[in-house]
DNA sequence: GCGGTTCAGTAATGAGCATTACAGAGCGCC
DNA sequence: GGCGCTCTGTAATGCTCATTACTGAACCGC
């Protein structure tokens, strides 16, 4: 069964496979915290040096243009981690992390992560895999934005987000932000697909009528 | 002194810090090969499962649109590695790797890398760092392409590529491919910067006259 | 059920880049 | 020292998406 969210990091728990000893150690230096929907966990600059691990809920990573347009880089599902850039990479980068559903987030100090990386290669391996997915994802998005027209990009997003033949919970605005475009532009592309009866549109709910043609539409 | 090529992976040798024993082992399972300029190392699909390590020369990683437009994802300098996606991630991705200068490339089997990762956390750590840079880079490029106009993107690229106040060895075509746009479009943006006397343009050689204003231009 | 708020549909205008079509200029090779 | 190739300049046209401006519909809280 293929993952309906290939872009999200649904990999197994980052800390799975640790010894009881290590697990205790992790728990000792780690703190769990609840965030209500809408809360911003970090903004550019103000990034505490820490790794966050999403236990439950949903988090969005995004960037903002000078004029306030939003570009959503990633949607995170439970067991994804984020904020690692400030740990592993050089310094912070220009992103916001915002909770889009009431969530439970685990915070881990960078130094501890560092230690864990050195001591437990399986953790490193898992992070590496997640990063790989992330690189892939970003580069694919780059290709899409550079080469494809709106309709194709919307079609691709729908395919990526569909659970079965339904895409639920995404408003046109959400779709637009995922693609870094105006809401009107997204609506337009959706209507084009609707006009070809490839999809049906409801309020925050899109139904795929013809997956084959949608796939084709996502290519040009 | 800051790195003039922050986007390239100029990190230390991936295998630095191995024991003599490990080094011998690596050499045993590794093969070095020369590639002439212009040679394509791999194309989408036809990716041998291996990690490549650039010893000397230069390699370009890029994607192609259906119509044949090129988008250069990364320029690699010596000691960068590439092709890891097929090892670490799921499968291959849609990229080409092409030698842009006569090069010396080390090839390492995936299984060996896998083993190395588990045994030597420092190698994992280094790869992780490189991935981090790569994610950062891709996401930054994503932001630029989504939010900025041509002139700003060209300006940003010039700043990134400048050595001192000179950007040498890049034709307008090269610049265009880095940005995934038409050559004419790149020329236009360059001429705009020239008209403002922020830069001077020569054949495959651009001189930065006013770094400050160029920086400002790169932002809007 | 009412009023406010979030969502979605639509249209007009304009800017920016794609796309096509050439022309001249510098360089390397014979 | 001429020829061909690469590199750069330029212009016209059209399409795509940004941007602005509304309208109506569905949903939520009360």
| CA atoms within a 13 Å half-sphere pointing along the CA-CB vector of A90 | 14
- Report pLDDT digits (tens) over A44-54: 877 667 889 99
Are the Cβ atoms of A63 and B139 closer than 8 angstroms? Answer: yes
Helices B150-161 and B121-147 cross at an angle (nearest 10°) of 150
**Separation of B190 CA and C24 C1' (Å):** 19
A93, pLDDT greater than 90:
no
pLDDT category of residue B21 using cuts at 50, 70 and 90: confident
Strand-pair partners of A30: A108
Work out the minimum CA distance from A65 to partner chain B, whole angstroms. Answer: 6
Task: Please provide the DSSP assignment of A5-47 as one string.
Answer: -TTS--PSPTTTT--HHHHHHHHHTEEEEEE-TT-EEE-SS--
Looking at residue A91, its pLDDT comes to 64
Which of A87-91, A101-105, A153-157, B193-197 is least confident? Answer: A87-91
Strand-pair partners of A115: none
Q: Which of A30, A52, A23 is nearest to A119 (CA)?
A: A23
- Residue B59 near residue B53 (C-beta atoms within 8 A): no
Looking at residue A87, its pLDDT comes to 81
Looking at residue B12, its pLDDT comes to 54
Residue A132 touches partner B, C-beta closer than 8 Å: yes
- Report pLDDT digits (tens) over B50-98: 899 999 999 999 999 988 899 999 999 998 999 888 888 666 678 999 9
Q: What is the mean pLDDT of residues A126-134?
A: 86
% of chain A surpassing 70 pLDDT: 92
Determine which of B117, B146, B152, B177 to mutate to test the interface with A (most A C-beta atoms within 10 Å): B146
- Report pLDDT digits (tens) over B92-131: 678 999 999 999 999 998 888 888 888 888 888 888 888 8
Looking at residue A9, its pLDDT comes to 40
- Report pLDDT digits (tens) over B139-189: 999 999 999 999 999 999 999 999 999 999 999 999 999 999 999 999 999
Question: What is the gyration radius of the CA atoms in chain A, in angstroms?
Answer: 19
| CA atoms within a 13 Å half-sphere pointing along the CA-CB vector of A178 | 23
- Residue B177 near residue B115 (C-beta atoms within 8 A): no
* pTM metric for this prediction: 0.90
Nearest to B69 among A121, A147, A219 (CB): A147
Are the Cβ atoms of A139 and B89 closer than 8 angstroms? Answer: no
Are the Cβ atoms of B85 and A135 closer than 8 angstroms? Answer: yes
Residue A49 touches partner B, C-beta closer than 8 Å: no
Could you give the C-alpha distances from A207 to A213, A214, B25, in angstroms and in order?
13, 11, 55
């Amino acid at each position: 069964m293929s993952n309906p969210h290939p872009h999200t990091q649904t990999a197994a728990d980052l800390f799975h496979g640790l010894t009881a000893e290590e697990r205790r150690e992790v728990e000792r230096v780690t703190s769990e915290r609840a965030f209500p929907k809408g809360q911003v966990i970090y903004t550019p600059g103000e990034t505490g040096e820490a790794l966050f691990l999403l236990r439950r809920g949903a988090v969005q990573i995004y960037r903002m243009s000078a004029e306030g347009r939003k570009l959503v880089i990633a949607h995170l599902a439970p067991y994804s981690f984020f904020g690692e850039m400030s740990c592993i990479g050089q310094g912070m980068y220009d992103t916001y992390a915002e909770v889009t559903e009431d969530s439970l987030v685990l915070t881990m100090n960078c130094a501890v992560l560092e230690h864990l990386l050195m001591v437990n290669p399986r953790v490193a391996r898992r992070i590496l895999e997640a990063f790989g997915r992330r690189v892939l994802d970003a580069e694919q998005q780059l290709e899409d934005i550079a080469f494809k027209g709106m309709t194709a990009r919307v079609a691709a997003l729908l395919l990526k987000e569909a659970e079965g033949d339904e895409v639920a919970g995404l408003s046109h605005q959400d779709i637009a932000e995922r693609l870094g475009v105006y809401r009107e532009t997204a609506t337009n592309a959706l209507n084009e697909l609707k006009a070809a009866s490839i999809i049906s549109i409801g309020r925050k709910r899109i139904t795929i009528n013809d997956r084959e043609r949608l796939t084709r539409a996502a290519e040009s």
